[in-house]
């Protein structure tokens, strides 16, 4: 159907609809198969049959969605189909690593592949739309939802947005196996005060434009079907009522043509925010801001008729939102075939096996090796006895992480499962030693007894899945005291220890734990194939290649912490009292953005720009030689950072402008080339417009954002197009 015919059909439908039916299209309700917000409610079947519901979340299954769709299509006056949405964040049934972990693969192709499988499985379950990708730039590990983000950097977030949106939607929303993407949570949700969920947000206009908006703009440019506003406010104006950002910026300036879907009860919560006296005012504010769909707030259902009577909104404004919702349903192909996602397709064995293989690959590609003293890893599979201790060693449920959709713990694998496939069972001694947050002398002694009888200890520590994700804010994102007590006891035995850290955030680690561990691994929540992926890393079947997408602090007092901070007039100086430092902690992080080790070593040459002067409108190439100086094949990630040392505004010490990967055999040398456009060096100036300024630009290339390890060059930026200027 062409655009003209579609528009005509939408207008014909609108002309037939009464007010209740129009508002019904803007009303999204939740079933009780999953809980994604406060309270539980059964699916309101009578409202669906009456045409008072336009879309449903938390309901799945081909047979069940078909029956609910039948009610909408066959029992309502106009037969307008529903669409079904769900939080498919990092997999539907096959669960992949949490986004913060998968972002650390720094591989757009891998991100696309996992999103395609997630979309296919969701479509097989009768779903049309996912509330993903989450694109909040997050620099505060106290905030539990950092687990769902691609990390701390805007450039990385934009790349993640582009890959995920394109892969979910795959060009044509009406085709089977494709899923409408919802970019969330617009915008700056990751800046909640003190890392506390749903708290206030204050952000400068410049930071908003340079840091927090770019991932969402990338999602819009990739064609995202929907955007979800954040629960939070910005400087006192809640996002669900923020017309300037939702309408003026995203719709008018960016050209977004999709739908805005409220977060769970977000419109009704405008009353709690104190900007609306009742649901009538809340509904009017949200509608005028451009929010098309009210998810579980019932503010539109209960408030819009009154808002219309009071003159707070017009019928024309309601019609605009209804048009967009109907347009999405046409794009999804639901008017051509309302049951197109209800066929009950079941993947064959070969397809399921390929999906599990991808989960295993992505799990291994997301695990970060942070320390490897004396090359204790990799272990030769099946050689030597292992003591596998800690509460996460056999925690299949926790390996799936938060927002794991329909992931089944009975079909997931913990570390023990993976090791049992590589070692004779009698060579593996297992004792939990603690629960997540409790232990006693008997449990610790049992773990120590296992450690004494082993050649090496695998110590599995960290968070349960419920400690991360939404409503998972932690004032102190450290390991629980019970686990630290276990770790101290085990490490006192002076056995070789490989510490594996599970969780959804950067964790604050005591110095003694880092120093006493012979190897340290950030496993995050690796997904369905966690155990096999970890076994592949521990035994060297996979050479670790993941890098940190978020900085790990030394202490809670360093939070928020990220690599791209601006310089201060008094840089930290241990010899100078009046400098920017702490008196009780270092300034440097525990682990920097981009850090991670391999089982081989790489040597990096100096950056070689292809020109000394970069003119406005031009793009330059920057090449660097890299050598695998180790004894095995490996993959390395290289980061391109820039710095503008003298500008009209103080600029960040480092800005990420690119990342590339290269695979090299032992002894092999290769060349990695980055492209850098002059426009990539623009920034938000004093008057909040984008500016490009003449001057020296530093080029830094390296394996992480730790500045002491970078190799550097410099170019001159000329903003005049006249080469003689």
Pairing label, strands 456-462, 386-389: parallel
What are the extents of the domains in the chain?
Answer: 369-547, 602-718
- Residue 462 backbone class (left: φ over 0; alpha: ψ -120 to 50; beta: rest): left
Average pLDDT value for the chain: 96
CA gap 421, 720 in Å, rounded? 64
Q: What confidence score (pLDDT) does residue 725 get?
A: 35
The arithmetic mean of pLDDT across residues 505-534, rounded, is: 98
Confidence of residue 1 (pLDDT cuts 50, 70, 90): low
The arithmetic mean of pLDDT across residues 5-22, rounded, is: 96
494 exposure class (CB count in 10 Å sphere: 0-12, 13-18, 19+) = exposed
Q: What confidence score (pLDDT) does residue 383 get?
A: 81
- Among residues 206, 101, 157, 104, the alpha carbon closest in space to that of 656 is found at 157
What is the fold, at CATH topology level, of the domain defined by 369-547?
A: Rossmann fold (3.40.50)
| Residue that is written with structure tokens 């320390």 in the block | 371
Check pLDDT > 80 for residue 724. no
Show which residues are catalytic: 263
Q: What confidence score (pLDDT) does residue 382 get?
A: 77
Length of the chain: 725
Confidence of residue 35 (pLDDT cuts 50, 70, 90): confident
Check pLDDT > 80 for residue 406. yes
Q: What confidence score (pLDDT) does residue 471 get?
A: 95
The terminus-to-terminus CA distance of the chain in angstroms comes to 53
Check pLDDT > 70 for residue 721. no
The string of DSSP codes covering 528-549 is: TTHHHHHHHHHHTSS------S
Check pLDDT > 50 for residue 203. yes
CA gap 143, 504 in Å, rounded? 10
- Residue 321 backbone class (left: φ over 0; alpha: ψ -120 to 50; beta: rest): alpha
Confidence of residue 342 (pLDDT cuts 50, 70, 90): confident
CA gap 228, 148 in Å, rounded? 15
The arithmetic mean of pLDDT across residues 2-24, rounded, is: 94
The arithmetic mean of pLDDT across residues 455-460, rounded, is: 98
Q: What confidence score (pLDDT) does residue 722 get?
A: 52
pLDDT digits (tens, 9 = 90+) for 145-170: 999 999 999 999 999 999 999 999 99
Check pLDDT > 90 for residue 39. no
pTM greater than 0.95:
yes
| Matching fold, domains 369-547 and 602-718 | no
Q: What confidence score (pLDDT) does residue 400 get?
A: 98
Q: What confidence score (pLDDT) does residue 723 get?
A: 42
Check pLDDT > 80 for residue 516. yes
Assigned superfamily of 602-718: Immunoglobulins (2.60.40.10)
Check pLDDT > 60 for residue 399. yes
Check pLDDT > 70 for residue 394. yes
């Amino acid at each position: 159907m062409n655009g003209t015919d579609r528009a005509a059909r939408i207008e014909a439908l609108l002309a037939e609809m009464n007010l209740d039916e129009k508002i019904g299209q803007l009303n999204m309700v939740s079933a009780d198969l999953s809980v994604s917000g406060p309270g539980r409610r059964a699916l309101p079947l009578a409202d669906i049959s009456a045409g008072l519901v336009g879309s449903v979340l938390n309901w799945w299954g081909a047979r069940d969605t078909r029956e609910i769709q039948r009610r909408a299509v066959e029992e309502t006056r106009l037969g307008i189909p529903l669409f079904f949405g769900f939080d498919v964040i990092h997999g539907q049934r096959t669960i992949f690593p949490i986004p913060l972990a998968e972002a650390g693969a720094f591989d757009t192709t891998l991100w696309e592949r996992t999103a395609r499988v997630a979309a296919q499985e969701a479509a097989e379950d009768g779903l049309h739309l996912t509330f993903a990708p989450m694109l909040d730039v997050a620099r505060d590990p106290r905030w539990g939802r950092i687990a769902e983000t691609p990390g701390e950097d805007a450039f990385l977030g934009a790349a993640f947005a582009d890959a995920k949106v394109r892969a979910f939607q795959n060009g044509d929303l009406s085709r089977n196996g494709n899923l409408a993407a919802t970019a969330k949570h617009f915008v700056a949700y990751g800046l909640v005060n003190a890392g506390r969920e749903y708290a206030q947000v204050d952000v400068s206009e410049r930071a908003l434009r340079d840091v927090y908006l770019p991932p969402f703009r990338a999602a819009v440019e990739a064609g995202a079907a929907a955007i979800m506003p954040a629960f939070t406010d910005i400087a006192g104006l809640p996002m669900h009522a923020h017309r300037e950002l939702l309408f003026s910026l995203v719709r008018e300036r960016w050209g977004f043509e999709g739908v805005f879907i409220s977060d769970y009860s977000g419109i009704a919560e405008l009353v709690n925010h104190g900007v609306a006296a009742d649901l009538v005012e809340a509904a009017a504010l949200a509608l005028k801001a451009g929010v098309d769909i009210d998810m579980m707030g019932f503010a539109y259902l209960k408030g819009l008729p009154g808002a219309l009577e009071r003159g707070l909104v017009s019928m024309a404004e309601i019609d605009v939102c209804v048009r967009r919702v109907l347009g999405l349903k046409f794009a999804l192909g639901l008017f051509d075939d309302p049951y197109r996602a209800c066929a009950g397709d079941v993947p064959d064995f070969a397809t399921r096996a390929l999906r599990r293989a991808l989960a295993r690959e992505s799990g291994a590609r997301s695990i970060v090796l942070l320390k490897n003293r004396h090359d204790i890893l990799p272990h030769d599979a099946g050689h030597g006895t292992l003591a596998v201790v800690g509460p996460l060693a056999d925690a299949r449920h926790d390996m799936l992480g938060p927002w794991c959709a329909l992931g089944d713990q009975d079909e997931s694998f913990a570390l023990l499962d993976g090791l049992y496939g590589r070692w004779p069972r009698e060579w593996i001694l297992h004792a939990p030693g603690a629960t997540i947050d409790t232990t006693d002398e008997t449990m610790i002694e049992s773990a120590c007894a296992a450690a004494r009888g082993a050649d090496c200890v695998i110590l599995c520590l960290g968070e349960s899945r419920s400690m991360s994700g939404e409503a998972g804010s932690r004032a102190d994102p450290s390991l629980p005291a019970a686990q630290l007590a276990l770790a101290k006891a085990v490490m006192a035995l002076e056995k070789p220890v490989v510490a594996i850290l599970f969780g959804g955030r950067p964790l604050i680690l005591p110095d003694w734990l880092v120093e006493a561990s012979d190897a340290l691994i950030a496993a995050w929540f690796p997904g369905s194939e966690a155990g096999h992926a970890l076994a592949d890393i521990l035994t060297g079947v996979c050479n670790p290649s993941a890098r940190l997408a978020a900085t790990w602090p030394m202490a809670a007092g360093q939070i928020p912490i990220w690599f791209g901070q601006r310089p201060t007039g008094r840089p930290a100086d241990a010899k100078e009292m009046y400098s920017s430092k702490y008196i009780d902690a270092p300034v440097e992080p525990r682990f920097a953005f981009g850090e991670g080790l391999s089982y081989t070593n790489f040597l990096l040459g100096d950056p070689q720009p292809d020109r000394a002067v970069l003119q406005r409108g031009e793009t330059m190439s920057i090449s660097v030689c890299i050598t695998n100086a180790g004894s095995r094949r490996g993959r390395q990630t290289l980061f391109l950072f820039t710095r503008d040392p003298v500008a009209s505004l103080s600029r960040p010490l480092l800005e990420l402008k690119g990342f590339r990967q290269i695979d090299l055999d032992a002894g092999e040398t290769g060349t990695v080339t980055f492209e850098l456009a002059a426009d990539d060096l623009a920034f938000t100036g004093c008057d909040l417009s984008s500016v490009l300024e003449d001057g020296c630009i530093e080029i830094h290339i390296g394996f992480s954002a730790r500045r002491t390890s970078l190799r550097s060059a410099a170019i001159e930026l000329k903003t005049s197009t006249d080469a003689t200027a």
